[in-house]
Amino acid sequence: MKILGISGSPRKNGNTDTILKEILRGAGESDIPNIETEALFLRDYVISPCTGCELCRKDLTCSRFNDGMNLIYPKIEEAEILVLGSPVYNYNVTSQMKSFIDRLYPYYIFSDGRPGSYGSRLAGKGKKALVFSVCEQTDPEETGFATEAMARPLKALGYHICRSFPICGFFDKGAVLKDKNILHKVYSLGMELAGCSDK
Ligand SMILES: Cc1cc2nc3c(=O)[nH]c(=O)nc-3n(C[C@H](O)[C@H](O)[C@H](O)COP(=O)(O)O)c2cc1C
């Protein structure tokens, strides 16, 4: 089983990276055999924002750009479980995460009507996801809709969302490293992840 973790933080070794690595460490150390985990960091890839050219409707891949997404698409297809993490930037995900999500558009199967119905080439494959956001404030209002901004598109693409949660109260780079409680919690969530059922 392949589990792909994706961090949308521009800040290397910041709170999002730390949480992501801890979730993947838990997943890798669970009782379920043959789990392969990989972490990737969107800041390491050039990902152009989608231009809405719609070429992917007929090409079934993005033929507008030849960029970092060409390296990431095969990983998405191979992974049964996706873990997406983003810092909260202005109540939302970072622009890196937003560009990445928009560039998943080639996986949709579109009809020609307006508004058109849609399906997904990733649906029906038992794909699952965990999404989390990290933010400074502790009032849930201040965390905005970052987790929803990741969970909803993945759901539309046919993923079963195992978990979706904000991690609040961390601002400074690496602040979360000092909170052993949170680290243990996300490690445990990682351990349970492979067993997450969509039934
Ligand atoms: C441009 C920018 C916008 C931010 N907006 C919010 C926000 O709306 N709500 C919040 O609670 N924290 C906000 N923060 C704080 C970050 O979410 C917080 O520092 C987080 O821990 C960063 O994660 P990282 O270490 O993975 O980069 C913002 C930070 C930046 C740089």
pLDDT given for residue 165 in this prediction:
96
Residue 137 lies in a domain: yes
Q: Distance, CA 97 to ligand 1 centroid (Å)?
A: 13
Ligand 1 pocket check for 135: Cβ under 6 Å: yes
Mean of pLDDT over the chain: 96
Residue 122 lies in a domain: yes
Token pair for residue 100?
């990445």
Q: Tell which atom from ligand 1 comes closest to the C-alpha of 14.
A: 25
Q: Distance, CA 132 to ligand 1 centroid (Å)?
A: 13
Domain with 186 in it: what CATH number?
3.40.50.360
Q: Distance, CA 135 to ligand 1 centroid (Å)?
A: 5
Mean pLDDT (whole number) for 165-171:
96
- Structural domain boundaries enclosing 143: 2-193
Ligand 1 pocket check for 90: Cβ under 6 Å: yes
Q: Distance, CA 87 to ligand 1 centroid (Å)?
A: 5
56-91 pLDDT per residue, tens: 999 999 999 999 999 999 999 999 999 999 999 999
pLDDT given for residue 199 in this prediction:
67
**Rounded to 5°, angle at Cα 71 from 68 and 73:** 105
CA 69/CA 44 separation, integer angstroms: 11
Residue 187 lies in a domain: yes
Q: How many domains are contained in the chain?
A: 1
pLDDT at 196 over 90: yes
Residue 199 lies in a domain: no
Give the list of residues 6+ apart from residue 70 with CB closer than 8 angstroms, or none. Answer: 62
Residue 74 lies in a domain: yes
| Closest by Cα among 132, 195, 185, 197 to 160 | 197
Residue 186 lies in a domain: yes
Ligand 1 pocket check for 89: Cβ under 6 Å: yes
- pTM for the whole thing? 0.97
* pLDDT tier for residue 141 given thresholds of 50, 70 and 90: confident
Q: Tell which atom from ligand 1 comes closest to the C-alpha of 133.
A: 17
Residue 198 lies in a domain: no
Residue 51 lies in a domain: yes
